[in-house]
Amino acid sequence: MFVEYCVGLSGLVASGLFIYGLKAMSSPVTAVAGIVAAGYGMLFVVAATFLNLFNITPEARPNLLVNVGLGVVALLLGSLWAGWRGRTVQMTSMPQMVAIFNGMGGGSAAALAAVELLGNHDIPLLPLSVTVIGALIGCISLSGSLIAWAKLDGRIRKPFRFSGQRAFNAALFAATVVLAVLTVMRYATPSAELPRDLFFGAALLLGVCMTLPIGGADMPVLISLYNAFTGLAVGLEGYIMNDPALMIAGMVVGSSGTLLTALMAKAMNRSLTNVLFSNFGETGGSSKGPEGEMTAADPADAATTMRYGASVIIVPGYGLAVAQAQQKLYEFVKILVAAGVDVKFAIHPVAGRMPGHMNVLLAEAGVPYDMIYDMEDINDSFATTDAALIIGANDVVNPEALTDKASPIYGMPILNAYKAHQVFVIKRGSGTGYSGVENPLFFQKNCTMVFGDAQAVLSKMVEAVKALGST
Amino acid sequence: MFVEYCVGLSGLVASGLFIYGLKAMSSPVTAVAGIVAAGYGMLFVVAATFLNLFNITPEARPNLLVNVGLGVVALLLGSLWAGWRGRTVQMTSMPQMVAIFNGMGGGSAAALAAVELLGNHDIPLLPLSVTVIGALIGCISLSGSLIAWAKLDGRIRKPFRFSGQRAFNAALFAATVVLAVLTVMRYATPSAELPRDLFFGAALLLGVCMTLPIGGADMPVLISLYNAFTGLAVGLEGYIMNDPALMIAGMVVGSSGTLLTALMAKAMNRSLTNVLFSNFGETGGSSKGPEGEMTAADPADAATTMRYGASVIIVPGYGLAVAQAQQKLYEFVKILVAAGVDVKFAIHPVAGRMPGHMNVLLAEAGVPYDMIYDMEDINDSFATTDAALIIGANDVVNPEALTDKASPIYGMPILNAYKAHQVFVIKRGSGTGYSGVENPLFFQKNCTMVFGDAQAVLSKMVEAVKALGST
Amino acid sequence: MMASVTSMTFVIALYIFMLAAFTGYVVISRVPSILHTPLMSGSNFIHGIIVIGALNALFNATSIAEQAIGFVGVFLGAGNVMGGYVVTDRMLAMFRPSQKAEPARPEQEKPGQEKQGQP
Amino acid sequence: MMASVTSMTFVIALYIFMLAAFTGYVVISRVPSILHTPLMSGSNFIHGIIVIGALNALFNATSIAEQAIGFVGVFLGAGNVMGGYVVTDRMLAMFRPSQKAEPARPEQEKPGQEKQGQP
Ligand SMILES: NC(=O)c1ccc[n+]([C@@H]2O[C@H](COP(=O)([O-])OP(=O)(O)OC[C@H]3O[C@@H](n4cnc5c(N)ncnc54)[C@H](OP(=O)(O)O)[C@@H]3O)[C@@H](O)[C@H]2O)c1
Ligand SMILES: NC(=O)c1ccc[n+]([C@@H]2O[C@H](COP(=O)([O-])OP(=O)(O)OC[C@H]3O[C@@H](n4cnc5c(N)ncnc54)[C@H](OP(=O)(O)O)[C@@H]3O)[C@@H](O)[C@H]2O)c1
């Protein structure tokens, strides 16, 4: 009894700390303290779980030592591997890393369900159903997250599509549900194992098939969705384990993750169904528009113009992240600032491929806060600025979003870079952005293209301005 | 079983609606929908409670009809009386009305506990203790709220104090706790009833004695505190009734009420201990300062000056509520506006005696939103305004708060009415406000006093400007 | 004493209390001070749910004393519910922007709107 | 299978789910979009608590199959916990205003501050 109380109360403390931590994470000022508090909660509750060793079932007692050994080894292996990966991963690969860790959680929930379904415990109908539902969601989250990881990491480059895919997925889903029902009724059937094993296989396959057709650019939204899925699975498995801490932590994540997914989709001007079923992220990704009127310049000329300008606003986009050029960019900016140029960064809320992507990147490069401006705060300044330097951004500066009702991005607020006296654009060629639409800004009179990889171009720019000296 | 499920789920729905309702109440736009949703939740859960009639204990079955009859009569009587009182009460009497309703809730929780303790149910130690603690808190809330009501309603005019009162209260509290412990141990003692009855008596007395010494002006904070108390009592009694809906609703109110109390105290520049133990609200309430330099004028003169001014800012305060003069005030304002005067209302966050007091009053009189300004928004405008009209406000325009470090209200932000070209003050005499400090503004050169009850003075002003015609 | 489908252990009760307390805290923490009074009476209304506890006690009353106290409990609880509701509703009705048909400064009426902040 | 002090009925479980879901909703509803990524990884970390469920299952394993699956479950869960924590911590560290020793625009860093609104 005493042990049970300790374990139960440790879960209470931990779930309280989790909620506190999540709440604290709603502001950058308190966020660090929040995650640390949640971390202590986790440490505490995991440690307390070992008290359950005084309480294991009689049948498991002979295996005690082996089981504990396995548990400790698994804990160490899992946390060391993930800790090492997490420490060393590059900031630009963050989304796929989160995808893996999330998939692991879903897998853990599915494994837990599998253990429950393995032993012929006499589980009543209701908990049994909950177990199976949790397993289904956990499996989808596991295999789906792995596909999302592979896509973001460039292991799967093309979305995998065939005609009738949607019908196939629907049929697969139906089959999985049927297998789930059969699994629940397994006590009534003579051969219990087959439907159960098939069920797990089908659920994993479902996650794969659901994720394959969705474009890589939509993956952040999907990862957030699978995050909510894992939370839900954890909550449901918590119920069958009679562990309210699992239920609470899982459900809190399930609901907050769902909301977060919706908020992300909204910030991208999309709906969730649109993300899941319309494959918008890939259509026309390679369409080329009229190129005739683009003016090109070489990096040194552009850099010199900016060096002798009075003010420059920098608009970073996804291309900056791809080129990993944030350090070089800041180096360039520091030289401009030293030369007396007034430099500001303008960040669009959905620049890049994940929310806050550019803020994270620039923060990593060491750009101070007070140089970074939100869209609302800076949009009026473009008209009075000498030069706007657009680096690997496209959709977020597309004036068509303001004017062309037929455009797929119509209605999205943009950064008014087109109003600047002179606009420089660094990009590799005439590739379109995420939405696949042409950007008329690039054909404007006051716009000069500087073609090349952002990292390479910026290196040349740095050299050029350095060569000018600081006079 | 079916009935039990229905009742259990009705509680689930109701507590969800309560939480939704409270959340919606955090913005004026959604608040009405929120309280309506919570109302439906309550209706639903009360109706579902009657399903428990299929489930009563065998011993109670012979009394079924009588009990149901009593229940229905009590429900009707209680809700009709309270509904009638709630509909007809004047807005200015709102705080004391809330106090009564809150006390009723506390009393209901205490009564529930009493019924539990009456029957010799074999309650285990833990629930028994929870019952008694809930009873204690409920009783304090009941009798304390009644005293608060009596004070606010003018039935008890003077705070009741004697030397050694604090020691007496401490002793009473100790005695109550001892009686509570005896009650919990009643199964061990031969005579069970005596300590229990004494306990209830002592708890009720404690509520009275705690509240008596606190000044009437501090009552709103105290009512909010007792509101949290009742919530806590309800939550605890919910535990012994095995009713999670009660637990949730009670605890939500318990915690939100505590926070609300702290926020209120903070808005008044006080701490909660300060409110409970220092009696600040009454000290020096009748001290008279130097009167020599006050300039007085009669209502007609003051009104005429304003009528021919270009701009007037009106600062309402507690005295407006006392005089119930909000309608007259708006009548006066409408005439000024018709005559082309630019009139604005400036509202201090703690003007009046409850938070948002002035907003409620002016809204009641029909003053449109766009004439009402927050302190931050209007404070810079006083310097460029022809006349400030202060009606029954005192502390909130006291410039001492800005300059005099020794003043008890030092540090409170004020409305800068003293900067206006000309200041008119409507009050009955030279009485001080809530904090009991003299207001140097009234002795300023540019300040003219218009003595009299606000309602009477404003009536005269209305007559005076009407007589001038609208030219 | 009541429905066994809602019976729970003490530890589970603590979890529920924790969650409820936290919920109350978050829900209220951003209320503007102009709404403090309606909020107070609104939460006052909500703890009126004690009336269903009192009703259950009265339904199971076996002695005159229990009936009497139960009756008082239900009466008080019903008063809390109805009074709290009516008073809150009346106050909130005054805050309705439509009342004066002047929907002025609507953006100020959503004090808690999400705002994209700078890190 | 686990401690009886935390056993609960289905209805009680629904109450807990409801409260937890609501809590998650309120807690997140005002997060600025710049924090969406750390928040995602932070909540990812939190559902890593599944590792204690997997640990309990492993501790009670009686067959090789149960031990194997339990081992995998604990491994995955531990990875979720540690990975989620490390990644979140790293990202949030970048948002620390002290990093660049330029505590500029601190008022923008509290996007959700209570604001006295006009009714
Ligand atoms: N932030 C989010 O949460 C999120 C999530 C998912 C999707 N989205 C969407 O992503 C878009 C973001 O807009 P954005 O303006 O940042 O990016 P974008 O519109 O996707 O444009 C990126 C541009 O960068 C260029 N580029 C690629 N690699 C480069 C390199 N190595 N060096 C230089 N340039 C390079 C590309 O042109 P070239 O090929 O010619 O070089 C491309 O036009 C929006 O449509 C948004 O809705 C946002
Ligand atoms: N809002 C809240 O939540 C709250 C709650 C509790 C306490 N408080 C405190 O209450 C104070 C509020 O300041 P306040 O400026 O509104 O009021 P105040 O400082 O209390 O002053 C009220 C003034 O009204 C005058 N008055 C009274 N009855 C009148 C009548 N019938 N006709 C005309 N005048 C009348 C009084 O002077 P005469 O006697 O000379 O007429 C008195 O000086 C602050 O100190 C605040 O901290 C606020």
CA C92 to chain centre: 15
Q: Is the beta carbon of B95 within 6 A of some atom in ligand 2?
A: no
Check C117 against D108: CB less than 8 A apart. yes
**D118: nearest CB among C8, C108, C117:** C108
Residue B23: partners with Cβ closer than 8 Å, 6 or more residues away: B34, C27, D26
Nearest alpha-carbon partner for C34 in C108, C115, C114: C108
Q: What is the pTM for the complete model shown? A: 0.84
CA distance A415 to A348: 7
CA distance B395 to A263: 45
Taking contacts as CB-CB distances below 8 angstroms, the residues of chain A near C117 are: 28, 374
Whether the CB-CB separation of B409 and B375 falls below 8 Å is answered with no
Q: What is the pLDDT of residues C65-90, one digit of tens each?
A: 999 999 999 999 999 999 999 999 98
User: D12 — contact with chain A (CB < 8 Å)?
Assistant: no
Mean pLDDT of B164-182: 90
**C41: nearest CB among B21, B27, B98:** B98
Other CB atoms within 10 A of residue A470 CB: 10
The pLDDT assigned to A366 comes to 82
Ligand whose nearest atom lies closest to the CA of B456: 2
User: B15 — contact with chain D (CB < 8 Å)?
Assistant: yes
Does B372 or B37 have the greater pLDDT score? B37
The pLDDT assigned to A55 comes to 85
Any idea which residue has 């944030």 for tokens?
A326
Element of type H or E holding C64: helix C64-94
Residue A177 CB burial class (10 angstroms; 0-12, 13-18, ≥19): middle
Taking contacts as CB-CB distances below 8 angstroms, the residues of chain D near A253 are: 24, 43-44, 46-47
Centroid of ligand 2 to alpha carbon of B215 (angstroms):
14
Each residue's pLDDT expressed in tens, for chain D with a length of 119 residues: 444 788 888 999 999 999 999 999 998 887 776 778 888 899 999 999 999 999 999 999 999 999 999 999 999 999 999 999 999 998 887 765 533 444 344 444 333 333 333 33
Ligand whose nearest atom lies closest to the CA of A437: 1
Listed ranges A122-126, A427-431, B162-166, C48-52; the one with the highest mean pLDDT: C48-52
Q: What is the dihedral of CA A325, A330, A331, A333, to 10 degrees?
A: 130
Q: Is the beta carbon of B433 within 6 A of some atom in ligand 2?
A: yes
User: B251 — contact with chain D (CB < 8 Å)?
Assistant: no
The pLDDT assigned to A354 comes to 73
The pLDDT assigned to A182 comes to 87
Q: Is the beta carbon of A217 within 6 A of some atom in ligand 1?
A: yes
The pLDDT assigned to D2 comes to 44
Task: Tell me the DSSP string of B40-86.
Answer: HHHHHHHHHHGGGGGG--GGGGGGHHHHHHHHHHHHHHHHHHHHHHH
Q: How many residues does chain C have?
A: 119
User: C12 — contact with chain B (CB < 8 Å)?
Assistant: no
Nearest alpha-carbon partner for A431 in A284, A259, A218, A261: A284
- Residue nearest atom 38 in ligand 1 by C-alpha distance: A431
Asked whether the CA dihedral B187, B190, B193, B196 is positive or negative, the reply is negative
Whether the CB-CB separation of B314 and B391 falls below 8 Å is answered with yes
CATH architecture of A299-469: 3-Layer(aba) Sandwich (3.40)
CB interface of C with B, residues 48-67, below 8 Å: 48-63, 65-67
The pLDDT assigned to A314 comes to 96
Q: What is the overall mean pLDDT for chain B? A: 87
Assess whether pLDDT exceeds 50 at residue B275. Answer: yes
Residue A425 CB burial class (10 angstroms; 0-12, 13-18, ≥19): buried
The closest-lying atom of ligand 1 relative to the alpha carbon of residue A412 is: 47
Does A51 or B413 have the greater pLDDT score? A51
- Amino acid code (one letter) for B119: G
Element of type H or E holding B425: strand B422-427
Each residue's pLDDT expressed in tens, for chain A with a length of 471 residues: 788 899 999 999 999 999 999 999 888 788 889 999 999 999 999 999 999 998 888 888 899 999 999 999 999 999 999 999 999 988 778 888 999 999 999 999 999 999 988 876 677 888 889 999 999 999 999 999 999 999 888 888 777 777 888 889 899 999 999 999 988 886 555 556 788 889 999 999 999 999 988 876 678 888 999 999 999 999 999 999 999 999 999 999 999 999 988 888 877 777 778 777 765 444 443 444 445 578 888 999 999 999 999 999 999 998 998 888 999 999 999 999 999 999 999 998 788 877 777 887 888 788 887 788 888 889 999 999 999 999 999 989 999 888 877 777 777 788 999 999 999 999 998 888 877 788 899 988 889 999 999 999 999 999 999 888 755
Q: Is the beta carbon of B100 within 6 A of some atom in ligand 2?
A: no
The pLDDT assigned to B290 comes to 46
The region, left, alpha or beta by phi > 0 then psi within -120 to 50, assigned to residue B392 is: left
For chain B, which residues make up each domain, given as ranges? 95-281, 299-469
Beta-sheet strand order (sheet of A422-427): A295-296, A447-451, A422-427, A387-391, A311-316, A342-347, A372-374
The pLDDT assigned to B162 comes to 79
Q: What b-and-e string marks burial along A190-199, b requiring 16 or more CB atoms within 10 Å of the CB? A: eebeebbebb
Phi, psi angle pair for B352, to nearest 5°: 85, -160
Check A234 against D79: CB less than 8 A apart. no
The pLDDT assigned to A48 comes to 95
Alpha-carbon distances, residue B298 vs B120, B194, B461 (angstroms): 72, 66, 9
Nearest alpha-carbon partner for A439 in A468, A462, A408: A408
Q: What is the dihedral of CA C8, C9, C13, C15, to 10 degrees?
A: -110
For chains C and D, count residue pairs whose Cβ atoms are closer than 8 Å: 97
Q: Is the beta carbon of B396 within 6 A of some atom in ligand 2?
A: yes
Nearest alpha-carbon partner for B424 in B327, B336, B358, B322: B336
Q: Is the beta carbon of A323 within 6 A of some atom in ligand 1?
A: yes
Q: What is the pLDDT of residues B285-343, one digit of tens each?
A: 344 444 557 888 899 999 999 999 999 999 999 899 888 899 999 999 999 999 999 99
The pLDDT assigned to D115 comes to 39
- B403 pLDDT band (50/70/90 cuts)? confident
Neighbours of chain C (3+ CB pairs under 8 A): A, B, D
Q: What is the pLDDT of residues B108-161, one digit of tens each?
A: 999 999 998 887 667 788 888 999 999 999 999 999 999 999 988 888 877 777
Nearest alpha-carbon partner for A366 in D90, D101, D89, C117: D101
Find the range with the poorest average confidence among B239-253, B359-373, B386-400, B454-468: B359-373
Q: What is the pLDDT of residues B431-470, one digit of tens each?
A: 888 777 888 999 888 999 999 999 999 999 999 998 887 5
Asked whether the CA dihedral A450, A455, A458, A464 is positive or negative, the reply is negative
